[in-house]
């Protein structure tokens, strides 16, 4: 359950995944993509842990 991150800045896993994906994209030259469906699947997986 939220909040997430060490400082509690994110209320939801969706916000957290979006932030981390954007951070990854800024720090790399990768052409990887994360579709809305992929993000939903990732959030569902994290909730199941």
Q: What is the pLDDT of residues 16-37, one digit of tens each?
A: 999 999 999 888 888 888 999 9
Task: Let me know if residue 4 belongs to a domain.
Answer: no
**Portion of the chain with pLDDT greater than 90, in percent:** 80
Task: Give the residue carrying structure tokens 């800045």.
Answer: 9
Count other Cβ atoms within 10 Å, centred on residue 47: 9
Domain carrying residue 28: 13-48
Task: Let me know if residue 25 belongs to a domain.
Answer: yes
Task: Let me know if residue 31 belongs to a domain.
Answer: yes
Task: Let me know if residue 38 belongs to a domain.
Answer: yes
Domain count, the chain: 1
pLDDT, average across residues 11-19: 96
User: What pLDDT is attached to residue 46?
Assistant: 96
User: What pLDDT is attached to residue 20?
Assistant: 95
Mean residue pLDDT across the chain: 93
pTM as predicted: 0.82
Ramachandran assignment for 34, one of left (phi > 0), alpha (psi -120 to 50 degrees), beta (any other)? beta
Task: Let me know if residue 2 belongs to a domain.
Answer: no
Task: Give the residue carrying structure tokens 């997986």.
Answer: 45
Residue (of 27, 10, 25, 6) closest to 43 by Cα position: 10
């Amino acid at each position: 359950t939220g909040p997430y991150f060490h400082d509690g800045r994110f209320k939801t896993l969706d916000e957290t995944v979006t932030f981390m994906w954007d951070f990854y994209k800024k720090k790399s030259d990768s052409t990887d993509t994360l579709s809305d469906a992929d993000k939903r699947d990732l959030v569902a997986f994290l909730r199941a842990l």
